[in-house]
Structure 1
Amino acid sequence: MAEEGREERDSSSCRGGTSQGEGGGGGGENSPVRRVLVISAGASHSVALLSENIICSWGRGEDGQLGHGDAEDRFSPTQLSALNGHDVVSVTCGADHSTAYSRSRMQVYSWGWGDFGRLGHGNSSDLFAPQPIKALHGLKIRQIACGDSHCLAVTMQGEVQSWGRNQNGQLGLGTTEDSLVPQKIGAFQGISVKMVAAGAEHTAAVTEDGELYGWGWGRYGNLGLGDRNDRLIPEKVSAVEGENMTLVACGWRHTISVSSSGGLYTCGWSKYGQLGHGDFDDHLIPHKLNAFSKSFISQISGGWRHTMALTADGKLYGWGWNKFGQVGVGDNIDHCSPVQVRFPLDQKVVQISCGWRHTLAVTERQNVFSWGRGTNGQLGHGESADRNVPKIIEALSLDGSSGQLIESSKVDPSSEKSWVSPTERYAVVPDDNTQGQTSSSVRGNGNDVNVPENDVKRIRL
């Protein structure tokens, strides 16, 4: 029976055809081209939501973050069949885990690495297939943000739930205790939150009134509060020149925000130029980027140590750490000022997402591009090569030569072990107390020993 089921899934690979509107005939056997609605990049994996409720994931699968029921890497977009028919409207990647939200079912699903309770299921077990977060059932969710080891959800009413790792107060609950299930942030009582963003160990939020808040780990000024102290509860950022903020994003240890007038502000860690101010100096309060004085920023995304910004006229700019080409400008040197990313036929960009070492973009021509680190297949090109300029993901793109042929998972999640106890796997977690020490699985450079250079995060016993 299991083999029959697998054959059935293999034969149902997603293939798009010519749009009916183009041929003028309607009817026909060709199905409409599937549009990519949402893209999200994690540490070494990627997820996309397509029209017709198709969810695909690819890249590193060691921790179950792809949701296919196994721990295998996928080098091309592969349909996540476990959520078929669930009416998913959003997908979000954490570092090594993933989430999805079904509006009609009012249900959040999560899967992947479960340490510190980042999956929200009341334990620290890994999940290799999506499971509903019971504590969030019935809530109308506006947005979900996932960092390295913690997550947050904003409801339509502007309330915020948080869960996962909390050693520096990044959950905003007033403690440093991890939370295995979502809890409401009481400090926002009477304040309507519009959007949240999660970094490695810090969090930021923008309210409906345009106020910026920061909390959690603040050593590099990444909270924007003018000092290097941690905060256990959200605190309002006052030094933004009186501008209302509309967007916020977090990198590993820096924060990016956009004002109602389209100005871009950054603060925090800038050793690799990720703040974009033309230098490598940290900033303890948000500073406006002069490079965009004549542009209106419409979208932002923060990577591990790089940043991307999209202008209202569809131009994409990147800066920061570029060892693997994740800035996308044709070289592998760090950039401390914004540099424009070029696309074939000068396609305008409509959506971006930064992973730790790779970047994804969707263009107005309904093409998906990726660049940066590719060692685990997170670029979706069917290979493990790094790329320092955008390369089209054939299977997801209108201009792709594969006719939108998307692989289907050959694993039946119901026939596999869907969870793994933390006692069966050992997690190597970067610890700020290990400054100056060395580790067999976490290497660094000087003061960055807690920021691993390699792709090894877990040692199997």
Structure 2
Amino acid sequence: MATPRTTCALYTWGANSFGQLGQGHAEDQAEPQCVDDGQERQRLRAITGGGGHSALITETGELLVCGQNHKGQLGLGHISDVTNFQHCPLPGNQTVQQVSCGWDFTILLTDNGHVLACGSNAFGQLGVSAEIKHTAEPLLIKSLSEPVISVATGLRHALAVTGSGGVHQWGTGLSAQAKRALNPQPVPVHLACKEPHLVPGLDQVTCQKVVAGSAHSACLTVAGDIFLWGSNKYGQLCNKESFLPLPTALDGSLLKGERVCAIHSGWTHLIAQTETGRVFTWGRASYGQLGRRGQTNDVTSPESDASLADSSSEISLPSEVKTLNGATQIACGSEHNLAVVGNQVFSWGWNEHGMCGHGSFCDITQPQPIPALKDVRTLLIGCGAGHSMALCCLKSGGESGS
């Protein structure tokens, strides 16, 4: 008897105003829909998204992109939105190791350790000359002379870890909040620099990964420790200060003494996975993004640009989400999340555009399996700010979940 042929399909859902779902149209989808563009999907290395765009990396290091492109963030050489995934050729035929999508810009880490950037540079988030306001061609960040091993993008800033374990930051997205919080003290240069600048205070540790929120940054060391800096508006830094200009170690006791093996960040919340498979969440909880029923800790409207509130009374300390124990993958959008636990994809958090994939538009306060993906095996998950993606294996004889 012949073995059933296994094929892979990419499913996307959620916000789609700019075609970021890659489905050839611009209508939101509240349930996973198969991206049927005739391309083989068995060999993807990573999937992720930004404010209104998406990016896929193939196992051979090719980059596929779609979605919003008004600042050239797709790197295609033009500024027209794209509703189907298109191949993005890189200078010198370089291949991609990692891609991180910010609000309206994209940072690319190549397999040879170089960092390229495209999109808006209004806040210096591309790490190139400030004279360049935006670019539709991926540009090399020349000041990162040492090979890079990890990159991350926030709303208006970016980070990179070099092979020696140092962390560089660029973009001025954190400087306005720093000025308010630190006045009349001068703002540290790494918070207001438009080209990569070494982040001080990490000399005694070796970093291996960085993540970023809308106005905060975090790094994970090889020893399994987490360092946090930037805005603490929603308690995401687990500190009584409203703003931390320098990296501050997260008290290990808050994670029950567990060694951290992975860290993820939304705009205002963080998720840590430990070596024993436990998952802890903390930060803003207003949309259920922490996966804890009934918890909320808003201090201001997310749209407000008022001065930072003192979040000392609103600190959301790390708490374990036992439903996610043993998760093999986790991905964060701006205020929603995906996780692979066992053979199921779970989602929770902000759901205004249906990005949790349950067919409704109501926020989900605890991780719930996505019904449409219950009969497939998920290989990869990824999130944009308000959309979701999953690469799934399915057997011939009918596609589940579309």
TM-score, normalised to structure 1, is: 0.72
Q: What residue is the counterpart of 1:184 in the other structure?
A: 140
Which one of the candidate residues 292, 304, 325 is aligned to 2:288? Answer: 325
- Give the gaps of 5 or more residues in structure 1: 1-25, 33-51, 409-461
Which one of the candidate residues 313, 335, 343 is aligned to 1:357? Answer: 335
Q: Structure 1 residues 204 and 352, CA, compared in 2 at 3 Å: closer, same or farther?
A: same
After TM superposition, give the deviation of residue 280 of structure 1 in Å.
5.4
**Paired residues of 1:83 and 1:130 also in contact (CA < 8 A):** no
Aligned with 1:63: secondary structure? coil
After TM superposition, give the deviation of residue 229 of structure 1 in Å.
4.5
- Give the gaps of 5 or more residues in structure 2: 180-186, 298-314, 378-392
Which one of the candidate residues 244, 263, 280 is aligned to 1:300? Answer: 263
What CA distance in whole angstroms lies between the structure 1 residues aligned with 2:97 and 2:190?
Answer: 31
State whether structure 2 residue 299 is matched by structure 1 residue 338.
no
- The within-5 A match list for 1:125-274 is 125-135=80-90, 138-175=93-130, 176-189=132-145, 191-217=146-172, 218-219=174-175, 220=177, 226=188, 229-240=191-202, 242-274=204-236
When Rg is computed on C-alpha atoms for both structures, the one with the higher figure is 1
Which one of the candidate residues 80, 92, 101 is aligned to 2:48? Answer: 92
Q: Structure 1 residues 93 and 330, CA, compared in 2 at 3 Å: closer, same or farther?
A: same
The size of the alignment, in residue pairs, is: 353
- The within-5 A match list for 1:436-447 is none
Q: Structure 1 residues 305 and 78, CA, compared in 2 at 3 Å: closer, same or farther?
A: same
Aligned with 1:54: secondary structure? strand
Amino acid at match of 1:295: E
Q: What residue is the counterpart of 1:118 in the other structure?
A: 73
What CA distance in whole angstroms lies between the structure 2 residues aligned with 1:83 and 1:296?
Answer: 43
Amino acid at match of 2:218: I
Amino acid at match of 1:202: H
Tell me the alpha carbon deviations over residues 291-336 of structure 1, each in whole angstroms, 9 at most, x when there is no partner: 2371111111111211111111111111111111011111231252
Aligned with 1:117: secondary structure? coil
Q: What residue is the counterpart of 1:23 in the other structure?
A: none
Amino acid at match of 2:243: D
Which runs of structure 1 show a deviation greater than 2 angstroms over 4 or more consecutive aligned residues?
26-29, 86-89, 134-138, 225-229, 394-400, 403-408
Identity of paired residues, percent?
A: 28
Q: Structure 1 residues 378 and 287, CA, compared in 2 at 3 Å: closer, same or farther?
A: same
**Paired residues of 1:99 and 1:109 also in contact (CA < 8 A):** yes
Q: Structure 1 residues 117 and 230, CA, compared in 2 at 3 Å: closer, same or farther?
A: same
Which one of the candidate residues 239, 244, 263 is aligned to 1:283? Answer: 244
What CA distance in whole angstroms lies between the structure 1 residues aligned with 2:357 and 2:223?
Answer: 36
Q: What residue is the counterpart of 1:377 in the other structure?
A: 354
Amino acid at match of 1:289: L
After TM superposition, give the deviation of residue 378 of structure 1 in Å.
0.2
Q: What residue is the counterpart of 1:57 in the other structure?
A: 12
What CA distance in whole angstroms lies between the structure 2 residues aligned with 1:137 and 1:100?
Answer: 19
Q: What residue is the counterpart of 2:308 in the other structure?
A: none
Aligned with 1:395: secondary structure? helix
**Paired residues of 1:324 and 1:332 also in contact (CA < 8 A):** no
Tell me the alpha carbon deviations over residues 393-440 of structure 1, each in whole angstroms, 9 at most, x when there is no partner: 12334699xx975445xxxxxxxxxxxxxxxxxxxxxxxxxxxxxxxx
Q: Structure 1 residues 85 and 329, CA, compared in 2 at 3 Å: closer, same or farther?
A: same
Aligned with 2:71: secondary structure? helix
What CA distance in whole angstroms lies between the structure 2 residues aligned with 1:162 and 1:200?
Answer: 14
Amino acid at match of 1:341: V
Tell me the alpha carbon deviations over residues 104-129 of structure 1, each in whole angstroms, 9 at most, x when there is no partner: 4x431111111211111222211111
**Paired residues of 1:266 and 1:275 also in contact (CA < 8 A):** yes
Q: Structure 1 residues 333 and 241, CA, compared in 2 at 3 Å: closer, same or farther?
A: farther
Aligned with 1:115: secondary structure? coil
Note the aligned Cα RMSD (angstroms): 2.4
Which one of the candidate residues 340, 343, 365 is aligned to 1:366? Answer: 343
What CA distance in whole angstroms lies between the structure 1 residues aligned with 2:16 and 2:153?
Answer: 22
Q: What residue is the counterpart of 1:454 in the other structure?
A: none
What CA distance in whole angstroms lies between the structure 1 residues aligned with 2:89 and 2:151?
Answer: 21
Aligned with 1:333: secondary structure? coil
Aligned with 1:266: secondary structure? strand
Bigger relative CO (Cα 8 Å, ≥ 6 apart) = 2
Q: Structure 1 residues 397 and 206, CA, compared in 2 at 3 Å: closer, same or farther?
A: farther
